[in-house]
Each structure stands twice: as structure tokens, then as C-alpha cells.
Structure 1
Amino acid sequence: MGEENKKLMTYEGIKKICADNNLYETDELNEVLYLHMKGFHNIDGLSTFTNLKCLFLNNNCIKKIDNLGGFSRLKAL
């Protein structure tokens, strides 16, 4: 698959998903994010979600787990 066809995870996209799932508008208040089955090819745009405990990323196209180093409260991926 070409680079132009890959669906990238972005902060704006995550905020839309949060709104669609009736999650908090304030990023730090969200402890769980439901980003599964979205077709993402990367992990990005999460840096302001500092209190994440659970991150659902299953059924995406992510080949490398990265950009999660600052999530000390993350218990489930």
C-alpha cells in the first residue's frame, strides 16, 4: 500500500472520535480511548492524553508500537 493511501492517526481525528463517543473534551480527563477498527497505520496525536489507562487499538493496521513512552498510567493496550 502506498504512503498516500495510509490512514494516519492525528490529534484532530482523535478529538472527533472522542466527541463521537461522548468522551471528555479536556484531553487529560480521558482515561480510556476507543481507537479500534479505524484503519490507522501509525500511533500519533496522543501526547495530550496524559492520564490514559486503557487504549484500544485492536483491528488497525499498525505494524510498530511507538509514541507511547510518556504514558506512565497506561495499564492496557
Structure 2
Amino acid sequence: MTNEPAQQDQSSTGDFAEFTCPTCGRFRVSRSAVQQLSDMPEALATDALAKAKKRAEIDGGEVPLIRSFDLVLS
């Protein structure tokens, strides 16, 4: 594993920001979730990405999208 931060894809369009991370791979974050993520501990953000990845697998392998409801503490 590396500690390199995810790089934002500046060409992404839509209601999300797209990132590529050497550790996590490619994923998207809804615009409404971006601010919430910046204030969260890394462990909670990682959990949100895991939820998004699981949903993407079920939906046919789409790019994982972290949404605001993924950030709700369970």
C-alpha cells in the first residue's frame, strides 16, 4: 500500500468529482458528499468507499460513487 493521496480528475462532469487513487482505484464522490468527506476521519471515509464499491459490484461494475447517505454513521 502507498500513502499517496487520490488525484482528482479535472475533466469529470456531472454531479460528482472523480478520483484515482493508487490504493483504492477509481471512484467518484457526489458533490454533496465532498464537503462532508473533508471533515471525516479517514476510517469513516474508507467505510463509505467500501459501501460504494459493494453497490457498484451489484449494479454491474460501475465506477463506485460515494453519496451523502454512505457517510451516515451506522
> TM-score range, shorter-chain basis?
under 0.3
Higher strand content, 1 or 2: 2
- RCO higher in 1 or 2 (8 Å CA, sep ≥ 6)? 1
TM-score (norm 1): 0.22
The alignment's TM-score, normalised by the length of structure 2, stands at: 0.22
The structure richer in helix per residue is 2
